Structure 1
Amino acid sequence: MAKFVNCTPHAINIQTEQGIVTIPPSGISIRIESQQTQIGEINGIPVVRTVYTGLNLPEPEPDTVYIVSTVVLQAAREMGIQRNDLVAPDTGPQSAVRDGTGQIVAVRRFQVL
């Protein structure tokens, strides 16, 4: 069975058939390095393109899955990082569990690179 390490700053709630499983934050913080270049403007408002240039990902460990934010997952993909131990909560409409006010309270699945 895989061990989950939550690298986000908040608890992740997963809705399973048995109920909600909560994975608390691990305290591991992943930083994204990026560069922004102005590529134009619209009605005088600058428009920039962001290029990801670095991630401080934890080293892979056997039977360990790192839960990261969608932005970290996208940055890893754009940087050509190929790791099968990174997942992000899938907050899309088929996965998100929402409360009466529309706030996401859990997800049903993860997304990968």
Structure 2
Amino acid sequence: MPLLNLTPHEVTVLSDDARVIGRYPAAARPVRVPVVRVRVGEVDGVPLVRQYHGRTVLPEERPGTWYIVSTLVAAAHPGRRDLLVPTDLVRSADGTVVGCRALDCHTGPELRRMVCEEPGAGEVTEP
């Protein structure tokens, strides 16, 4: 199954013993969520804004293809069943993200059962 990275960063997936499981190059044209900020006031001279997120244009769903996206992109498209989000991030000593240990099937519980669970793999539980 192809995994295509639509983020502006290379995504490196690491095993528990820090072995590279997969490496997915950054997208030449990353998918980003448009943001509109409306100023609603200020406190101590600091602007307060209300932020609105729009939808972005994603590739069409293709059977057998998964897209790695940011949490914000996945949240903007809750009905998409083909979006994966890096999770369980691994950081260097200075706090820089160097990889992740898994990709989250960023969907609701019903879709998560259909998308992420192999037939007969058992129940999917929500935290």
Give TM class, smaller chain: 0.7 to 0.9
Higher strand share: 1
Note the residue ranges of structure 2 that are not aligned, 5 or more in a row.
108-127
The normalised TM-score by structure 1 is 0.77
Q: Assess, with a 3 A threshold, how the Cα gap between structure 1 residues 85 and 28 changes in structure 2: closer, same or farther.
A: farther
1:42-100 alpha-carbon deviations (Å, 9 max, x no partner): 112211111112311111111111111222223x15xxx4111112211xxxx222223
Contact 1:5–1:25 (8 Å) recurs in 2: no
Matches within 5 A, 1:1-113: 2-16=1-15, 19-20=19-20, 21-74=22-75, 76=76, 81-90=78-87, 95-111=88-104, 112-113=106-107
Which protein, 1 or 2, shows the higher relative CO under an 8 Å CA cutoff with sep ≥ 6? Answer: 1
Query: For residues 32 and 93 of structure 2, what CA distance do their matches in structure 1 show?
Result: 33
Runs of 4+ in 1 over 6 A off after TM superposition: none
- Cα contact 1:89–1:107 (8 A) shared by 2: yes
Shift of 1:31: 3.2
Contact 1:7 1:29 in 2 (8 A): yes
C-alpha contact (below 8 Å) 1:4/1:66 kept by paired residues: yes
In structure 1, C-alpha distance between the alignment counterparts of 2:16 and 2:91, rounded to whole Å: 16
Distance in 2 (alpha carbons) for counterparts of 1:46 and 1:3: 44
Q: Give the percent of matched residue pairs that are identical in Structure 1 and Structure 2.
A: 32
TM-score, normalised by the number of residues in structure 2: 0.70
Give the superposed CA RMSD. 2.0
The alignment of Structure 1 onto Structure 2 pairs a total of residues equal to 104
Q: Which runs of 5+ in 1 are unaligned?
A: none
Which letter maps to 1:89?
P
Give the whole-Å Cα distance in 1 for the aligned partners of 2:73 and 2:4: 14
